[in-house]
Amino acid sequence: MRKREKFSNPLDAIKTGRIEDACARYGLGRGLMRKTAADAGAIIRVGSCLLYNFTLLDQYFDALSQGGPNA
C-alpha cells in the first residue's frame, strides 16, 4: 500500500474558505473578519456562497504589519 503525501502545513495549502475558516485562521470575530476581507478585496461570491481569499488576506495583514495597507 502506498503512503499518502502530507502537506507540511495544511493551512498554507488552502487558498479560500468560509467565514468560520477565516475567523479561526486569523483569530478575528465574524464582524471584524467581514470588514477586513472587504477592505482587502478578498471576498469571492459564488452564487449565494461567500468565500474568503486567504492569499489576499495574508498580503493585506503583511502590509499592515509593515506600516500600512499600501506599503
Mean pLDDT per 10-residue interval, the chain, length 71 residues: 60 83 95 97 96 96 80 50
Q: Do strands 49-53 and 16-17 pair parallel, antiparallel, or not at all (unpaired)?
A: antiparallel
Domain count of the fold of the chain: 1
Q: Is residue 57 part of a domain?
A: yes
Q: Reduce the DSSP state of residue 36 to 3 states and report it.
A: helix
Q: Is residue 6 part of a domain?
A: no
* Residue 71 counted as domain residue: no
Going 71 to 33 to 23 to 4, the CA torsion angle's sign is: negative
Q: What's the pLDDT at 16?
A: 93
Question: Does a structural domain hold residue 8?
Answer: no
Evaluate whether residue 49 is within a structural domain.
yes
Whole-prediction pTM: 0.75
pLDDT value for 5:
59
Q: Are 12 and 44 in contact (CB under 8 A)?
A: no
Asked if the structure places residue 70 within a domain, the reply is: no
Whether 38 is in a domain gets the answer yes
Tell whether 7 is covered by a domain: no
Predicted confidence at residue 14, as pLDDT, reads: 80
Taking only the tens place, the pLDDT of each residue in 51-68 is 999 999 999 999 999 876
